[in-house]
Amino acid sequence: MVVTGIPGVGKTTVLNELQDLAKQNKFDLVVLNFGTVMNEVMRELGKDLHRDDMRKQNIEVQKKAQELAASEIANRSGHGTTVVDTHMFIRSVSGLWAGLPQNVLTRLNPRLFVLVEADPEQIAARRRSDSDRKRERTMAEDIMFDLQWSRATAAASAVSTGAPVKVIRNDAGRQKQAAQELFQAIRSVMED
Ligand code: AP5
């Protein structure tokens, strides 16, 4: 399973709730954060960076780390359900760059794509409140563009893999409901 959302939409918050739900229901589920694994890979490549500085690196360096991270995540996937916390695209120094290009999709082989979404104004406010992160100050119009680009990229990923796309809203204060919806979607795919 691949869960994506633009920075600040709250996907990690929803995934924390999902892990609690899985535990309560004795459902074997592991969440792996692509950015964390990529950060470890970059460190092994000699680049010890803050996670928000990875996207500012030369694109060829990022591509190499991305592919190695995808292989590492595939290796770490066990018998249960693996959920990968990642992005449909990254605002890199060279432009909008796919988080899940074909070589990554082949390694991850996802059965479901999830897009976590919220209103642009709420995403902007969440970004402002995250003082420990180096988040871009973005206008609601730019956030709207990013939400649309994520959907377009998800459509391309769905066509290339045959896996469905589920859109989940993470509205203010409703992260538990979003996690519940996500849990149901994952269970229904796993039961197929
Ligand atoms: P990553 O770690 O995924 O960074 P991010 O996008 O900034 O994600 P976060 O987890 O920090 O934000 P979030 O949207 O999950 O929001 P959060 O839950 O914190 O990726 C880091 C880097 O790794 C990327 O920049 C890229 O360089 C690289 N990377 C990753 N995947 C890659 C790939 N496939 N290929 C190449 N590079 C890749 O919530 C934000 C705030 O909102 C919090 O304060 C929270 O409390 C609040 N909040 C959340 N939900 C709600 C709610 N319902 N109501 C009210 N407040 C809420």
- 188 CA to centre of ligand 1 in angstroms: 25
Residue extents of the structural domains in the chain? 2-33+80-191
Cβ count near 192 (within 10 Å): 6
Least confident range of 8-17, 116-125, 138-147, 175-184: 138-147
Q: Which of 17, 38, 89 has most ligand 1 atoms within 8 Å of its beta carbon, as the pocket-test mutant?
A: 38
- 70 CA to centre of ligand 1 in angstroms: 18
SS3 of residue 171 by DSSP: coil
How many residues make up the chain in this entry? 192
Provide the CA 86 distance to its chain's centre, in angstroms.
2
- 186 CA to centre of ligand 1 in angstroms: 20
CA 11/CA 5 separation, integer angstroms:
6
Query: What share of the chain has pLDDT > 90, as a percent?
Result: 87
This prediction's pTM = 0.93
C-alpha closest to that of 173 among 7, 8, 5, 14: 14
Query: Residues lining ligand 1, CB < 6 A?
Result: 5, 7-13, 33-35, 38, 51, 54-55, 66, 85-87, 90, 99-100, 126, 129-130, 133, 170, 172-175
CA 86/CA 3 separation, integer angstroms:
6
Query: In sequence order, what are the beta bridge partners of 2?
Result: 84, 113
Residue 1 predicted with pLDDT over 70: yes
CA 85/CA 27 separation, integer angstroms:
18
Residue 137 predicted with pLDDT over 80: no
- Widest Cα–Cα separation across the chain: 44
**DSSP type of residue 7:** T
Look up the CATH architecture of domain 2-33+80-191: 3-Layer(aba) Sandwich (3.40)
The pLDDT tens digits of the residues spanning 30-44 come to 999 999 999 999 999
